[in-house]
Structures are given as C-alpha cells and as structure tokens.
Amino acid sequence: MKIGELAKRSGCSIQTIRYYEKEGLISAPERTEGNFRLYNSVVLEKLSFIKNCRALDLTLSEIKHLVSLQNSPETPCEAVNEMIDTHLLVVESRIEDLQKLHGDLKQLRLKCGNARSVDQCGILGELLPKPERSPSGTRK
C-alpha cells in the first residue's frame, strides 16, 4: 500500500509516518520504479503499536526502547516493567501537580465575585506582584 492509504488506515498523518521512518521506529519501505513508498501490513501493525504507546504518553525514546525489546524476544520483560513503573511515577507526579493547580485555581476563583468591574477584580489583583517588606515590616 502507498503512504496515503497507510495514513488513512493507521490514522497517522503522512508527515508522522515519514517522521517515524526517519526516527527508525518503522523500517524504510520498498520503493516502486516511480519511487513511491510501498508499505505492508507489518508497518500498519507497528504504527498501531506506536499509536497505543503514544496514547499512554510514552516518549519516542521509550517507544524506541520497547521496539528494540520487541526485536529481542528472548530478553526478560523486566525492562518493560521497569519502564512502565518509571512512567507511572512520572504520571503520578503530574497528577499531584495538576491537583495542586486545580486547588490553586479554585482558591483564585473565590477572590472575585461576578458583579465587579475589571479594575476591582480580585483575581487580577491576586495575580499582581506583592510589594516587598523590609525586615522591620514596612513596605519598600
């Protein structure tokens, strides 16, 4: 199949397919006499694998590592488990950061009622820098 059909069937853009090829995530395809790329079902399957990995927010580096592990089927899968465990820690940290952000935004929203003008907006006032205080407690 040509790249346009592969793009349609895989749900990846032509640019993405070319990028994955350049990055070595999929192998370089055969070419027709007219220099068109010709892909097979193995590449379609590989693109599906990559899309599933990207849906889990795995990086291209992590995906490359998984692909290399796939090419060494006798390798113990502890490396895969370790990668996912590490990724879980990153995701959990991001969740904590997002929960803190959510709380901060909710608190900020409480700083302003609906019936105020912008010059009285508590949110905008809260976002302004606070005047520094000198060690004696007076404002600079």
Please tell me the distance from the alpha carbon of residue 115 to that of residue 113, in angstroms, as a whole number: 6
The token pair that represents 18 in the structure block:
């070319």
Coil, helix or strand at residue 133: strand
Are 28 and 2 contained in the same domain? yes
pLDDT in tens, 37-87: 899 999 999 999 999 999 999 999 999 999 999 888 899 999 999 999 999
Range of the domain at 19: 1-75
Are 2 and 44 contained in the same domain? yes
pLDDT at residue 135 is higher than 90 = no
Q: Which residue has the higher pLDDT, 125 or 54?
A: 54
Please compute Rg for the chain using Cα positions. Answer: 26
| Average pLDDT along the chain | 90
Would you give the distance in Å from CA 83 to the centre of its chain? 16
Are 102 and 69 contained in the same domain? no
Number of domains in the chain: 2
Confidence class of residue 137 from pLDDT cuts 50, 70 and 90?
Answer: low
Q: What is the CATH number of the domain that holds 52?
A: 1.10.1660.10
31 occurs within a structural domain: yes
Q: What is the pLDDT of residue 62?
A: 93
Q: How many Cα atoms are found within 13 Å in the side-chain-facing hemisphere of 87? A: 18
Number of Cβ within 10 Å of residue 62's Cβ equals 16
